[in-house]
């Protein structure tokens, strides 16, 4: 019996134009299409695979505004059993430290878990540290950037892949895992799955329900503050030439002129 909690984040689609709001420099959620982060489909897939190999339950946990329910439903339609949605106005503008604390508190609302599975890095903030911070708060091992996960009884083995290469790590459960793009190919929700997802239980919790003080989260209480934010002037096209048999030499001349070679 392996009980798994999958962390899911709704993010602005990387194929749309992403912006920060002018007023408080937080993410402008209205400007872009909102989707479940691609990496989280892989997190859900991995959780389902582990469940299907034995026995267990997969709970989706998402912290985000009301419309994050779309991301949650997507995960449920893939086959997760139930969900917890932490949604509270006071969370607006929370930084990574506050977010990690809220997720840790929300995990306290799950009956028991053996494994927490997250994506290695969200495509919007790209902080790449929430799973590690969560492990720190929960006092459990982190097995992050996994491209392969093997659960055997109460122990877990992971092949971690980063710019340093592959590191084989192992620990005992409970543990926090994060997965990379290479972990698996996520399944498409079936029509039956989509219909079933509509009836699956989603528990909505506020910060107060978690026993977290609203004064510890949100923009005003963040451990870090954005002072300024501005769109970068777009790069402009420079010189362009047609290759007339001397294209390589022309590039070389340009690079010499720029003192690059």
Structure tokens at 193: 């799955």
- Binding residues for another protein restricted to 64-123, rule: CB under 8 A: 95-97, 100, 120, 123
- Residue 101 CA: distances (Å) to CA of 59, 72, 111, 217: 18, 20, 18, 9
150 touching another protein, by CB under 8 A: no
Measured from the CB atom, the residue of 191 and 223 that comes closer to another protein is 223
31 touching another protein, by CB under 8 A: no
Distance CA 131, CA 164 (A): 19
40 touching another protein, by CB under 8 A: no
Instruction: Give the nearest distance from C-beta 199 to another protein in angstroms.
Output: 33
Burial class (CB in 10 A: 0-12, 13-18, 19+), 237: exposed
240 touching another protein, by CB under 8 A: yes
Distance CA 110, CA 94 (A): 22
Q: Which of 145, 200, 205, 210 forms a contact with another protein (CB under 8 A)?
A: 145
164 touching another protein, by CB under 8 A: yes
Helix or strand holding residue 111 (H, E):
none
Q: Which of 64, 93, 141, 218 forms a contact with another protein (CB under 8 A)?
A: 141
Phi/psi for 5 (5° steps) reads -110, 125
Q: Are 180 and 160 in contact (CB under 8 A)?
A: no
226 touching another protein, by CB under 8 A: yes
Instruction: Give the nearest distance from C-beta 22 to another protein in angstroms.
Output: 12
Phi/psi for 218 (5° steps) reads 90, 175
133 touching another protein, by CB under 8 A: yes
153 touching another protein, by CB under 8 A: no
* Stretch binding another protein (CB under 8 A), from 1-9, 54-62, 78-86, 139-147: 139-147
Q: For another protein, how many residues bind (rule: CB under 8 A)?
A: 87
For 16-41, the three-class secondary structure string (H helix, E strand, C coil) is: CCCCECCCCCCECCCCCCEEECHHHH
Q: Which of 175, 179, 207, 212 forms a contact with another protein (CB under 8 A)?
A: 175
* Stretch binding another protein (CB under 8 A), from 50-58, 109-117, 186-194, 227-235: 227-235
Measured from the CB atom, the residue of 201 and 247 that comes closer to another protein is 247
30 touching another protein, by CB under 8 A: no
Residues 6+ apart with CB under 8 A from 26: 20, 92, 93, 219
Measured from the CB atom, the residue of 211 and 245 that comes closer to another protein is 245
**119: helix, strand or coil:** strand
143 touching another protein, by CB under 8 A: yes
């Amino acid at each position: 019996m392996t009980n798994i909690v999958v962390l899911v984040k709704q993010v602005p689609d990387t194929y749309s134009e992403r912006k920060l709001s002018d007023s408080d420099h937080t993410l402008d959620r209205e400007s872009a299409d909102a989707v479940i982060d691609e990496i989280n489909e892989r997190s859900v897939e991995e959780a389902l695979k582990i469940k299907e190999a034995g026995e267990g339950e997969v709970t989706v946990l998402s912290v985000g505004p009301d419309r994050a329910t779309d991301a949650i439903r997507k995960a449920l339609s893939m086959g997760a059993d139930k969900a917890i949605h932490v949604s509270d106005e006071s969370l607006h503008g929370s930084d990574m430290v506050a977010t990690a604390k809220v997720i840790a508190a929300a995990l306290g609302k799950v009956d028991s878990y053996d494994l927490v599975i997250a994506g290695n890095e969200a495509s919007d903030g790209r902080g790449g540290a929430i799973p590690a911070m969560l492990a720190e708060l929960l006092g459990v091992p982190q097995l992050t950037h996994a491209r392969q996960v093997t659960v055997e009884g109460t122990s877990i083995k992971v092949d971690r892949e980063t710019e340093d290469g592959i590191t084989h790590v192992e620990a005992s459960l409970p543990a926090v895992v994060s997965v990379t793009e290479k972990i698996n190919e996520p399944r498409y929700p079936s029509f039956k799955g989509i219909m079933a997802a509509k009836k699956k239980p989603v528990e909505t919790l506020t910060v107060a329900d978690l026993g977290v003080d609203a004064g510890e989260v949100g923009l005003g209480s963040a451990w870090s503050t954005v002072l300024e934010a501005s769109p970068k002037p777009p790069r402009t096209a420079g010189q362009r030439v047609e290759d007339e048999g001397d294209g390589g030499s022309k590039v070389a001349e340009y690079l010499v002129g720029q003192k690059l070679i």
